[in-house]
Chains A and B, each alone.
Chain A
Amino acid sequence: MSTIIERPGTQTPEGLNCVFEKPRAMSDKPFHYCPGCSHGTYHRLVGEMIDEFDLMSRTVGVCPVGCAVFAYEYFEFDMVEASHGRAPAVATGVKRCLPDRFVFTYQGDGDLASIGMAETIHAAARGENITVFFVNNGIFGMTGGQMAPTSLIGQKTTTSQAGRDPMLTGQPIKVCELLSSLDGVAYLARVPLSSPKNIKTCRKYMRNAVRCQLEGKGFALVEALSPCPVQWGMTPGDAIDYIDEKVVKVFPPGEFINKLND
């Protein structure tokens, strides 16, 4: 499938084809994210999925608490704001009341892997027919760069200033590995958003996750390894390189579960 998106109202000049534009499912409002943050990229991919599957009129999104708390400002479809970590529980309610809707949650690692771990695991164990788009940047970005459960060993944050010590705070939680033991999960994949190739792979995984829900297979989650240049204390370019050098060694990318063809 192609990524050709034509926005109504804008005119493509004669003799040219528009090959890349902001998805129709997104509003024109500029993002509030820091320079180089992959939240904007992931938002755009979500918008592309809604356009591609023509789900605009029957999508309900659930926003997290965290950096993406204002995600509802950037999409043209309906969104619900959940309490911190409770997005899968809210999405469960929406999906059970309105089974014909496409329901997804958009969550960060502080939301999904920290305070909302119970909701995530139980939604996955019940095999709720929802899609979770998970952004893992290994830090609490919005509150000032505190250590998250997904921070790497040795990573310096404002609450682990000498680097994360495994004797004190344990090892990072690997959400995909954790959920892969549950039978209710239909699709599970992890991909770093560190290059155009990986973003194309991410689009492929997200397409599978959306198909899972539309075909009623069960719980689907796509984890995107994202940079947080400001809280990591790096330039956006260095943060992208850091993902490829360090983060993917702890969080190996790939498809963990794919029950689409079962």
Chain B
Amino acid sequence: MDLCQINERVCKGCELCVKFCPQHALEMSEGRNSAGFHPAYLAHPDLCTGCALCAEMCPEAGIVVYRRQKARASQTQTG
């Protein structure tokens, strides 16, 4: 599953997430959403580190970011 999930329904294509992504993992889609904007999408999921800078800049609060649980943290939880 992608770490960065963009809600295409609310995206207005301002490109701020693309501008501030340090890994250049996001791109603007060729297609349009229901409001007529070109939404951003995660073009290179392997580059995404889950830093959440795109979500921090998104004016629509339309990005959910997950991060993988660290192995050490899961060990302390189980142990």
Point out residues on A near B: beta carbons under 8 Å: 3, 10, 12-13, 15-23, 26, 30-31, 33-41, 43-44, 47, 195-196, 199-200, 229, 235-237, 240
Contact code string B15-42 (vs A, CB < 8 Å = 1, else 0): 1100110000000000000000100000
Point out residues on B near A: beta carbons under 8 Å: 1, 3, 9-10, 12-16, 19-20, 37, 50, 52-53, 55-69
Instruction: Specify the chain B residue showing the minimal Cβ separation from A38.
Output: B59
Roughly how many angstroms separate A31 CA and B16 CA in the complex, as a whole number?
A: 16
Q: A35-B37, A36-B16, A200-B56 are in contact. Are A17 and B61 (CB under 8 A)?
A: no
| Contact between B59 and A26, CB atoms less than 8 A apart | no
How many A-B contacts are there with CB distance less than 8 Å? 90
Instruction: Specify the chain A residue showing the minimal Cβ separation from B20.
Output: A196
Roughly how many angstroms separate A236 CA and B63 CA in the complex, as a whole number?
A: 18
Give 5 pairs: A residue, B residue, CB < 8 Å, sorted on A: A13-B1, A19-B65, A35-B12, A37-B59, A195-B20
Instruction: Specify the chain A residue showing the minimal Cβ separation from B35.
Output: A30
Q: A22-B61, A33-B59 are in contact. Are A236 and B66 (CB under 8 A)?
A: no
| Contact between B19 and A36, CB atoms less than 8 A apart | no
| Contact between A13 and B66, CB atoms less than 8 A apart | yes
Roughly how many angstroms separate A33 CA and B53 CA in the complex, as a whole number?
A: 21
| Contact between B13 and A15, CB atoms less than 8 A apart | no
B55 contact set on A, CB distance < 8 A? 20
| Contact between B60 and A20, CB atoms less than 8 A apart | no
| Contact between A21 and B64, CB atoms less than 8 A apart | yes
| Contact between B15 and A237, CB atoms less than 8 A apart | yes
Instruction: Specify the chain A residue showing the minimal Cβ separation from B16.
Output: A236
Instruction: Specify the chain A residue showing the minimal Cβ separation from B73.
Output: A17
A20 contact set on B, CB distance < 8 A? 52, 55-56, 63-65
B50 contact set on A, CB distance < 8 A? 19
A16 contact set on B, CB distance < 8 A? 1, 3, 66-69
A3 contact set on B, CB distance < 8 A? 52
Q: A41-B57, A196-B57 are in contact. Are A240 and B65 (CB under 8 A)?
A: no
| Contact between A31 and B66, CB atoms less than 8 A apart | no
B19 contact set on A, CB distance < 8 A? 237, 240
Instruction: Specify the chain A residue showing the minimal Cβ separation from B56.
Output: A196
B20 contact set on A, CB distance < 8 A? 195-196
Question: Of B15, B37, B52, B59, which contacts A41 at CB under 8 A?
Answer: B59
Q: A31-B59, A39-B59 are in contact. Are A236 and B14 (CB under 8 A)?
A: yes
Roughly how many angstroms separate A12 CA and B65 CA in the complex, as a whole number?
A: 10
- Nearest-Cβ distance from residue B2 to partner chain A, whole angstroms: 10
A21 contact set on B, CB distance < 8 A? 64-65
Roughly how many angstroms separate A205 CA and B14 CA in the complex, as a whole number?
A: 26
Instruction: Specify the chain A residue showing the minimal Cβ separation from B13.
Output: A35
A36 contact set on B, CB distance < 8 A? 12, 14-16, 59
A17 contact set on B, CB distance < 8 A? 66-69
